[in-house]
Amino acid sequence: MKKDLGAKAALFPMPVLIIAAYDGEGNVNAMNAGLGTVCGKDRIVLMISANHKTTKNIHETGAFTVALADRRTMAVADYFGIVSGNKVPDKFARSGCHAVRSRFVDAPIITEFPVTMECEYVKTIDTENVYAVVGRIVNVSADEEVLTDDGNIDTSKLNALVFDQFQCSYRIATEKVGQACSIGRTVGDRPSDA
């Protein structure tokens, strides 16, 4: 029997994304954002508010990076989410992290994070209910230790963090339990070309 819980944000898992951008003077700011997803082969959309320092930087420079947080970077990822760059101007320096400039876009790659999408700003969606930044993924860089022998990202090596909104906690997503676009073929008389 189901129990009513009321209106809740009931999506799980939520990725733990670290968004970074330079300001006009070349200073790095980074923020933790759980509300983001890819939308198409080379697009990413981030539901972040206009008043974030990182959002302002993205509009100023036209580029940003999105890194996947992992178990090793959990504390600093959380720090990037609870400390505001608007209130702590040297937030990134205080984090102890390091950044290098992307070769593809005018944005910082935080070296401590294992996978980073390097993005060009495309547009902002600003409606009554949604404020979102859309970017074009120009390149993905990854640490060699999280790659398979054929050069793909091995999520079992990544130890990617996900945010659990129900328990306000971080979890690790690693276990493979089935093959996507395949396991569903075992159900009923469904056509194989949906």
Residue 133 lies in a domain: yes
Question: How does pLDDT run across 80-117, given as a tens digit for each residue?
Answer: 999 999 999 999 999 999 999 999 999 999 999 999 99
End-to-end CA gap in the chain = 32
Q: pLDDT at position 178, please?
A: 87
Give the total number of structural domains in the chain: 1
Task: Tell me how long the chain is.
Answer: 194
Asked if omega into 89 is within 30° of 0 (cis), the reply is: no
Residue 1 lies in a domain: no
Q: Phi then psi for 144, rounded to 5 degrees? A: -60, -30
Residue 141 lies in a domain: yes
Distance of CA 119 to the CA centre of its chain: 12
Residue 67 lies in a domain: yes
Residue 56 lies in a domain: yes
Q: What is the pTM of this model?
A: 0.91
Residue 27 C-beta-side C-alpha neighbours within 13 Å:
16
- What is the CB neighbour count within 10 angstroms for residue 134? 16
Q: pLDDT at position 121, please?
A: 98
Residue 158 lies in a domain: yes
Q: In this structure, what CATH number is given to the domain that contains residue 152? A: 2.30.110.10
Residue 81, domain extent: 14-186
